[in-house]
Amino acid sequence: MIDSLGTLGTLRVGLIVAFTLLGLFFSFVSMTGVIRLPDLYSRAHTASQADTLGAGFGLAAVALVIGLEGTGFKTVLLLFFIFVTNPTAAHAITRAAFEEGIVPWTEGDDRR
Amino acid sequence: MSLVDATVAAGYTVGDFLLLAAAGFAVLAIGMLYRAVKGPTMQDRVLAVNVLGTNTVVILAILAAALSEPTFLDIALVYALLNFLMAIAISKFTVERGGVL
């Protein structure tokens, strides 16, 4: 029962639920952007920002569940790693696309 | 008593809630697969697979917490590394001179 956890435990469960829901929300925003935005550059923008935040919230919830045990630090490592590599990968992909000559979307262009 | 067995609401535990959240992330991943299949350019597909990989890492981490299997976290770490390597390698492959970073 939730009463046997004490105030701190209840707060922790609440934070876990809140972080998981926020992670789901931002991943949903990222999915919507990746599907609906018009060209590669705008899709890379939503993929590197919204998705990184969604993954960050999801991994933060996992870190709260596991706590300060031996494996907890791996979650923080994973979070840090995703925060560093996800925008870097999006940047590399976008740069490769620009070098290949893909034209950025401007107003009036009806590409989907 | 571990935190995974604590009740959230109506008799459902934190573990149940996390499993449900993992299912939600999986549904979102299926939505992203649309762009990986349809994407007009090759970079679109690489980007979609990259986002899908990040989602998979989160699903693996959530399953590690919900099922109390700490080894899943190691798999998630290796998956994140391979995902990053894949994106960089394919970008590097298509650019002939200079670097992508």
Q: Cβ-count burial of B33 within 10 angstroms (0-12 exposed, 13-18 middle, 19+ buried)?
A: middle
**A93 within domain boundaries:** yes
**A88 within domain boundaries:** yes
pLDDT surpasses 90 at B92: no
Give chain A's domain count: 1
What's the gap in Å between the CA of B69 and the closest CA on chain A? 10
The mean pLDDT value for A76-98 works out to 90
Decide if B62 and A71 are in contact by the 8 Å CB cutoff: no
* pTM (two decimals): 0.88
Domain that holds residue A27: 11-100
What's the gap in Å between the CA of B51 and the closest CA on chain A? 6
**A84 within domain boundaries:** yes
**B48 within domain boundaries:** yes
Residue B65: name the closest of A16, A10, A30 by CA. A16
| Neighboring chain B residues of A53 at a CB cutoff of 8 Å | none
Residue A3, chain B, CB below 8 Å: the answer is no
Domain that holds residue B41: 3-93
**B98 within domain boundaries:** no
**Chain mean position to CA A40:** 18
| Neighboring chain B residues of A73 at a CB cutoff of 8 Å | none
B63-87 b/e (C-beta count within 10 Å ≥ 16 → b): bbbbeeebebbebbbebbeebbeeb
pLDDT surpasses 50 at A1: no
**B72 within domain boundaries:** yes
Per-residue pLDDT of A45-67, as tens digits, reads 998 899 999 999 999 999 998 88
| Mean of per-residue pLDDT scores for chain A | 87
| Neighboring chain A residues of B3 at a CB cutoff of 8 Å | 5, 9, 12-13, 16, 65, 67
**B101 within domain boundaries:** no
- Residue whose token pair is 């960050």: A56
Per-residue pLDDT of B13-64, as tens digits, reads 888 899 999 999 999 999 989 988 987 888 899 999 999 999 999 999 999 9
**B100 within domain boundaries:** no
Give chain B's domain count: 1
